[in-house]
Structure 1
Amino acid sequence: MLLTYIISGFAVGLLVGMTGVGGGSLMTPLLTLFFNVPPAVAVGTDLAFASITKAAGTLTHRLRGTVNWDIVKRLCWGALPAAVLATFALKYFGTLDKQIGQIIRYSIAGSVLLTVVALLFKGKMLNWINTHPERQLRGRPLAIATIVCGAVLGVLVTVSSIGAGAIGATLLVLLYPRLTAAEVAGTDIAYAVPLTAIAAFGHWWLGSINWTLLATLLLGSVPGITLGSWIARSVPERFLRGLLAMTLTGVAAKLIF
């Protein structure tokens, strides 16, 4: 079973390395559907996994100067308190309760579908924003919208472990269309580090992290992400994102039905 977890971590890491998204969107449903890991434990373990891997990514982006720290602060003002409140809500209602587990399962499915939308329509949404500059938010409204988006992502990530990647990046593109692709990626990863760390700490407090599972996933994912990053240029991004969107749609349908 440990070898299976390592192979699964490698496969997910490979896809994340090639596409830049799909970590939580694939790992959490994979643990829930194929390994029968309870939804709350799958979410908690994936959050711990994400906090470690994203911390390494943030260091790289910081050295490259591709993190907008002002945006990171705004997102954290909304995301971190929301993550704490969501954790207390899970504690109050009971993460191991069967009905709560089903709610978490549906939350995962909903987050996966949002990721699919972000993957498929990100380009069209960005084109619309660029052709309607008068609709772009600026100043105080932009700051408030960023904090609100951070709060929504904070709840989504804490409950389902999904949302900090493709959904967060898409929101950044819509709110800040002048950011370069590298800045979007760096900023998205940077704010996700404290968010996933706090959410993971909350799940540790709730007793919903499998540390052995976490270690085996990391053993597979690190070389997978490295290899995926190397071969990414040789595989058409449009094909990969389409394949990922189809896979996630099937995962969401399986979770729901």
Structure 2
Amino acid sequence: MSVTYIVSGFAVGLLVGLTGVGGGSLMTPLLTLLFGVHPTVAVGTDLAFASATKVAGTFAHRYKGNVHWDIVRNLCIGALPAAVLTAIGLKYFGGFGDEIGQIIRYSIAGSVMLTVIALIFRRHIQSWVNARPERQLHGGKLTAATIISGSILGTLVTISSIGAGAIGATILVLLYPRLSPAEIAGTDIAYAVPLTAIAALGHWWLGSINWELLMALLLGSIPGITLGSLVSRAIPEKFLRVLLASVLTTVAVKLVY
């Protein structure tokens, strides 16, 4: 088991604990760029990593009453079939081919940039939506929009392993602006558990999970997340947001060029 992978897991876990941004935005590009892992294997391994680490977060948020299960259900109605169909598509088109690998690489870069936009503009988006209650969706339209959003996220997560964190949370802010930040986080994590599990199963079927790498990442990430969570309050949130947005933008550019 490579010490380098354990240290990488710790570093990503530390950043996740500090910022609250999903590990996929950091882990998948790290595996692809620094360690030369094939994009499909990087995505599959990170999905297995995410499905394992998000379970504990879901239990914690459920205990505190932060999960809206009706929203989780509607997101999953859209996300889970989309994840299955996307995995079948990857199998059909050859997930380990150079062309598919390049498409996945570009998908990762695009998802990273969406995460950057979500990081920078999430509060502005929430303020804009709250100031215009007449434009907020209700009833059947809100349910339909939630299911459609789930299907988009399910496809995005299965292709790139990115989307269930900052992007999913931003969509929830748009659709459900009255939820508290804790409820947004709890609901986002709760729906991500079955989504990442189904997507990871799809990649296991494709043979794109590196189990030794997965164990090393988990071994490093648990203390990293714990430490990051403990010291996060001591570091200004604006500084962390700008730093992370800068790092992710650089990563996205390197993935493309």
TM-score when scaled to structure 1? 0.99
2:186 aligned partner: 186
2:221 aligned partner: 221
Report the Cα distance in structure 2 between the residues aligned to 1:61 and 1:68, rounded to whole angstroms: 10
Q: Which digits, 9 at most, give the CA deviation of each residue in 1:103-143, with x for residues without a partner?
A: 00000000000000000000111111011111100111000
Q: Which digits, 9 at most, give the CA deviation of each residue in 1:55-77, with x for residues without a partner?
A: 11101111111100000000000
2:81 aligned partner: 81
TM-score when scaled to structure 2? 0.99
Tell me the percent identity. 72
2:45 maps to 1:42: no
What is the SS of the residue equivalent to 1:156? helix
Q: Is 2:77–2:150's contact at 8 Å kept on the other side of the alignment?
A: yes
Report the Cα distance in structure 2 between the residues aligned to 1:55 and 1:85, rounded to whole angstroms: 24
Report the Cα distance in structure 2 between the residues aligned to 1:243 and 1:147, rounded to whole angstroms: 33
Report the Cα distance in structure 1 between the residues aligned to 2:38 and 2:119, rounded to whole angstroms: 27
Matches within 5 A, 1:1-257: 2-257=2-257
Q: Is 2:11–2:224's contact at 8 Å kept on the other side of the alignment?
A: yes
Q: 1:22: Cα distance to partner?
A: 3.9
- The answer for unaligned runs of 5 or more in structure 2 is none
Report the Cα distance in structure 1 between the residues aligned to 2:22 and 2:245, rounded to whole angstroms: 9
Q: How many residue pairs align between the two structures? A: 257
Report the Cα distance in structure 2 between the residues aligned to 1:22 and 1:76, rounded to whole angstroms: 18
Q: Is 1:82–1:155's contact at 8 Å kept on the other side of the alignment?
A: yes
Q: Is 2:22–2:164's contact at 8 Å kept on the other side of the alignment?
A: no
Q: Which digits, 9 at most, give the CA deviation of each residue in 1:207-237, with x for residues without a partner?
A: 0000000000001000000000000110111
Matched residue type, 1:156 = L
Runs (4+) off by over 6 Å = none
Q: Which digits, 9 at most, give the CA deviation of each residue in 1:132-186, with x for residues without a partner?
A: 1111001110000000000000000000000000000000011001101111000
Q: CA RMSD in A?
A: 0.7
